[in-house]
Amino acid sequence: MNSKKKGTRGELELANLLKEKGFSEARRSQQYCGINNDADVIGIDGIHIECKRVEKLNIDEAMEQAKRDCKANIPTVFHRKNNKEWLVTMRLDDWVELYKKGDKYGN
């Protein structure tokens, strides 16, 4: 499968998975607007999603792309290899901020 088709399939897979997990507005951005430098998957407020569905990922380059394109949103890279689970990479400070906002333990 060529890389463009694999990328498209990865974006659709991720959007559908996020919908299953309760993010009903999640969708592949290219299918609606086709704007370059937009997130690959949209519909989660405050989060810029770069979706990478590759076997060999340069996470530093992917994160730089997310940071460059994120505008005021939190840059994230959602990524998955064949036969592996989805992972999310983000900056530590952004993770801490998100965790504190949703901390059910009252910390």
CATH number (domain holding residue 79): 3.40.1350.10
61 assigned to some structural domain = yes
- Which amino acid, one-letter code, is at 61? E
Is residue 26 in a domain? Answer: yes
**Structural domains counted in the chain:** 1
Residue-level pLDDT at 32: 52
pTM, 2 dp: 0.88
Q: Kindly report, residue by residue over 30-82, the tens digit of the pLDDT.
A: 755 545 568 999 999 999 999 999 999 999 999 999 999 999 999 999 999 99
Task: Look at residue 107 and tell me if it is in a domain.
Answer: no
pLDDT above 90: percentage of residues in the chain = 78
Predicted confidence (pLDDT) per residue in 10-21, tens digit: 999 999 999 999
- Write out the residue range of the structural domain in which residue 62 sits: 3-101
Q: What is residue 64's predicted lDDT score, i.e. its pLDDT?
A: 97
With cut-offs at 50, 70 and 90, classify the pLDDT of residue 3: confident
Smallest CA-to-CA distance from 26 within 38, 16, 36, 13 is with: 16
